Amino acid sequence: MSQTSTLTPIASIEEIRSHFPALQRKHNGHAVAYFDAPGGTQVPREVTETMAHYLLEHNANTHWNYPTSAETDEMIARARQAAADFLNCSPGEIVYGANMTTLTFHLGRALGRTWRAGDEVIITDLDHHANVAPWRALEVDRGIVVRAARLVPGTTQVDLEHLTHLVTPKTRLIAVGGASNAVGTVNDLERVASIARAAKALFFVDAVHLAPHDLIDVKAIGCDFLACSAYKFYGPHHGILFVREALLSTLPFPKLAPAPDKAPDRAETGTQNHEAIAATAAAIDFLASLDLYGGSRRERLGRVYAALHEQGMKLARTMWEGLSAIPGVKMYGPTPSQPRTPTVAFTVNGVPSSEVARRLAAAGLFVSHGDFYAMTVVQQLGLGEEGLVRAGCACYTSEDEVRRLIEAVRRLA
């Protein structure tokens, strides 16, 4: 995660919150505090306005010789540039799709066509199952062997020595999450990249939970593929897949014969969700707009992310310390002194996680509960179907909301 010693000037928390109409919601007389950001953030007006503007003023299919079709082509090109600035790659390496899971299955099918039975993929026990099921499917479809690097339950870190030990001459891909959506662990992606390079294997990153909290640089990471979802960083329900240019131009993606065969269109099946593409770019530009200095989109995003990281980790530290001091509350994941996202997971002794969430919701505090599709993590932590309670901070989370959460859990426990 990026580190800063002083808060870079960006818009104030009051200004940021003013962009989110959802923050005006009341429940049982309480102002709603949304701690469910790891499952999906709230959306600023700019994003919905952009979506509506596209649908009402420019709606058309692509590549035809009339104005709204040309305008749609231009919008998609601009949106690819926005996503490229967001990930530090070229626009021609950006693939849009329904969501990270669908895009990863699609990529898996293409890669599977290039592999033989007995070839191997390495995943980890920390992963969201969107980075598990697509590769497990290749066990059935292609005879691929999937191996999983261990999770160290006490630290919720991936055992990278074990991951290294799993590498063989048949390893074709190493696929890991950038950060755990369940417990907030941030993985050492640069080290995993070096392991993959040494093995002459490809490297895939599930960055769905990392993208809202750390400005991604695919060049610095050294990955071949990276996927994320816009609805985790204030955008619509839509997915982005980065594919290194040489691979995007050559991988045998399933496609219709008449469809374009040039990158990146060749990886996008059917008519895309144009309004979501426009809104995804608007979400990236919203983040950049929080900067008070100016400059390129990437420069502005860098300053905003540095400031939001410091702000988020301050809130996470307060939450961690406050909750861990409550008798009967057990915390999971790295401590705030370790690399992590501002996502805190806990259980309350004697109270099912679903009941904790229900009772907090009655006080206007919206938290998630369960396994969050990271079921292997929950199982290895020795938890049953009730799983964890999860509270995550977003750009609009305030100190007052964090204090409300701590006090409500104290009363509940």
Q: What is the pLDDT of residues 270-310, one digit of tens each?
A: 999 999 999 999 999 999 999 999 999 999 999 999 999 99
Res. 143: pLDDT tops 80: yes
Instruction: Assess whether 154 and 19 both reside in one domain.
Output: no
Q: Please state, in angstroms and rounded to a whole number, the distance separating the CA atoms of residues 69 and 74.
A: 9
**pLDDT at position 32:** 98
Q: Could you tell me the residue range of the domain that residue 19 belongs to? A: 13-43+296-412
Note whether 132 and 156 are same-domain residues.
Answer: yes
Q: Which of 234, 252, 287 is the last residue of a domain?
A: 287
Please give the pLDDT value at position 212. 98
Give yes or no for a cis peptide into 252 (omega within 30° of 0): no
What local confidence, expressed as pLDDT, does residue 320 receive?
98
Number of domains in the chain: 2
Domain end, chosen from 258, 287, 316, is at 287
- 363: domain CATH number is 3.90.1150.10
Question: Whole-angstrom Cα distance, residue 315 to residue 401?
Answer: 10
Q: Are 334 and 184 in contact (CB under 8 A)?
A: yes
CATH number at residue 208: 3.40.640.10
| Residues 145, 82 share a domain | yes
> What mean pLDDT do residues 142-148 have?
98
Task: Based on the fold, state whether residues 186 and 203 are members of the same structural domain.
Answer: yes
Which pair of tokens denotes residue 353?
A: 């996680």
279 shares its domain with 378: no
Does 408 share its domain with 273? no
Distance CA 129, CA 300 (A): 33
Pair (231, 154) in one structural domain: yes
Question: Is residue 390 pLDDT above 90, yes or no?
Answer: yes
| Final residue before a domain boundary, out of 247, 263, 287 | 287
Q: Annotate 276-291 with b (16+ C-beta within 10 A) or e (fewer).
A: bbbbbbbbbbbbbbbb
The answer to whether 93 touches 244, Cβ cutoff 8 Å, is yes
| pLDDT score of 3 more than 80 | no
CB atoms within 10 A of CB 270: 10
Token pair in block for residue 243: 């594919």
The verdict on residue 71 lying in a domain is: yes
Q: Which two tokens stand for residue 339?
A: 């690399």
Q: Is residue 276 part of a domain?
A: yes
**Is residue 277 domain-resident?**
yes
Dihedral of alpha carbons 368, 371, 352, 345, sign: negative
Asked if residue 391 and residue 331 are part of one domain, the reply reads yes
> Which pLDDT value is given to residue 9?
80
pLDDT digits (tens, 9 = 90+) for 353-384: 999 999 999 999 999 999 999 999 999 999 99
Instruction: Kindly state whether residue 4 falls inside one of the protein's structural domains.
Output: no
8 assigned to some structural domain: no
Same-domain status, 262 and 337 = no
What pLDDT is stored for residue 8 in this prediction? 59
> With contact defined as beta carbons under 8 Å apart, do 81 and 91 qualify?
yes
Residues 260 and 302 in one domain: no
* pTM score, whole prediction: 0.96
User: 37 in a domain, yes or no?
Assistant: yes
Same domain flag for 174 and 279: yes
User: Which of 167, 158, 223, 159 lies closest to 186, judged by CA?
Assistant: 158
- At 174 the pLDDT is 98
Tell me the C-alpha distance between 129 and 139, whole Å: 15
Average pLDDT, the chain: 96
What share of the chain has pLDDT > 90, as a percent? 97
Closest by CA position to 139, among listed 124, 125, 126, 120: 120
Assess whether pLDDT exceeds 70 at residue 412: yes
The band of 205, judged by pLDDT with boundaries at 50, 70 and 90, is very high
Percent of the chain with pLDDT over 70: 98
Is pLDDT of 235 > 70? Answer: yes
**Residue closest to 367 by CA, chosen among 392, 349, 336:** 392
The string of pLDDT tens digits covering residues 154-193 is 899 999 999 999 999 999 999 999 999 999 999 999 999 9
Q: Is residue 3 part of a domain?
A: no
Q: Is a pLDDT exceeding 50 seen at residue 54?
A: yes
Query: Which band of pLDDT confidence, cut at 50, 70 and 90, is reported for residue 1?
Result: very low
- Do 173 and 307 fall into the same domain? no
Within a domain: 6: no
